[in-house]
Amino acid sequence: MSIEFTFVAGTDSNELSAAAPFFFDPQASAAALAQVEDAGFQSVVIDGAAGLLSNFDLAANAAALTSSLQIVLTHWAGVVAPTVAARQLAAIDAASGGRLALRILVDGIAEDDVATDSHAGHIATCQRTDEYLRLLKRLWSNDKPFDHEGPFYRVRGGFVPNKGLRGLGIPIRMSGLSGTSLKVAGRHADIFELAPGAPEDARRLIERVRAAAAQYGRAGQIRFAMPVSFTRDRPVSRAGAVHVPSFPARSALSLIAYAQAGVSEFMVIGPYDPETIGRLGQGSAIAAQLPRSQGKRAITPAPGRSGTSTMGRRLRA
């Protein structure tokens, strides 16, 4: 099983704005993305502090500044009409040469018109996300306009004339813990982002996701990602993550148990200064070889969380 590494811009501060230059300062963004690409990461997560609408522009900019990175655009239902989103996403996928991935957050944000702080609200949000994704896929694949009348969306003459390079093949990433959110992920996700925890926790959640996917004949079609942090001190970061040692070789060894549990991607969260990015890339390069070279050897890291911020909540929802 091949192991991939995704870079997630983080910060050593509680202030989300401290990570803003990675996305919003043109010179800093260009330099940081070049460092991430040169370090050997396969993907980069786009999740700007300004929210969903700005992520379209940030993703397009990141695609223009890179040549090999997959651009993982963070997105959610309820803000942009499906027809508008489908056109914009298809355009970014085409402009990037087919390097776009869509990271869907099932839990909404505070200003969503569907409350998410209750069981009924959570179910409604999941149902809206399911309908939204079904419409995106239909818009990316249909060859003529269609009408749709659903509980959350009404579409008249829905059609995207300029499809992305892969049509409806844009990879979709999801997360969640509730049975309802796992059902939606089982139907749509190509990559499932696991909640931080011990390898056995990861294994159990992977089994639940595969069981949900089996209802749609997709049990073997989902890959699994785990957020990790390679820093000397336990950081305060924008996302919850499993904390492992900072030295590349030790960090790589710490990931073996997760790979054996079924994880094939690690979302590396950390500050984005050149030294840190290079060090994280070095650890990622070593770790990518370990599942093949170490066989059944398993070294289990002490699980931990690096923060309780908005992105951490999203990963655990």
pLDDT digits (tens, 9 = 90+) for 43-60: 999 988 777 889 999 999
Write the pLDDT tens digit of every residue in 86-122. Answer: 999 999 999 999 999 999 998 644 344 444 457 788 9
- Give the number of other Cβ atoms within 10 Å of residue 297's Cβ: 12
User: What's the CA gap between 237 and 209, in Å, rounded?
Assistant: 26
Q: What average pLDDT score do residues 143-151 get?
A: 97
Q: Coil, strand or helix: which one is 274?
A: helix
- Write down the pLDDT at residue 96: 96
Q: Which residue type sits at 308?
A: T
Backbone angles phi, psi at 150, to 5 degrees: -130, 180
User: What's the CA gap between 92 and 75, in Å, rounded?
Assistant: 14
Give whole-number Cα distances, 241 to 62, 65, 180, 195, in Å.
24, 28, 23, 8
Q: What average pLDDT score do residues 261-283 get?
A: 79
**Residue whose structure tokens are 């336990």:** 234
Instruction: Give the pLDDT band of residue 307 (cuts 50, 70, 90).
Output: very low
Instruction: Give the pLDDT band of residue 17 (cuts 50, 70, 90).
Output: very low
- Write down the pLDDT at residue 49: 75
On the question of pLDDT at 247 being above 80, the answer is no
Q: Are 6 and 44 in contact (CB under 8 A)?
A: yes
Give whole-number Cα distances, 204 to 2, 172, 208, 263, in Å.
21, 22, 6, 12
Q: What average pLDDT score do residues 196-207 get?
A: 96
User: What's the CA gap between 7 and 25, in Å, rounded?
Assistant: 18
Residue scoring higher pLDDT (20 or 107): 107
Burial of 27 (0-12, 13-18, 19+ CB in 10 A): exposed
Q: Are 239 and 311 in contact (CB under 8 A)?
A: yes
Q: What average pLDDT score do residues 257-286 get?
A: 80
- Write down the pLDDT at residue 293: 46
- Write down the pLDDT at residue 303: 33
User: What's the CA gap between 200 and 206, in Å, rounded?
Assistant: 10
- Write down the pLDDT at residue 287: 65
Q: Coil, strand or helix: which one is 111?
A: coil
- Write down the pLDDT at residue 190: 98
Instruction: Give the pLDDT band of residue 290 (cuts 50, 70, 90).
Output: low
Q: Which of 224-228, 245-249, 275-279, 294-298 has the lowest mean pLDDT?
A: 294-298
Q: Are 191 and 45 in contact (CB under 8 A)?
A: no
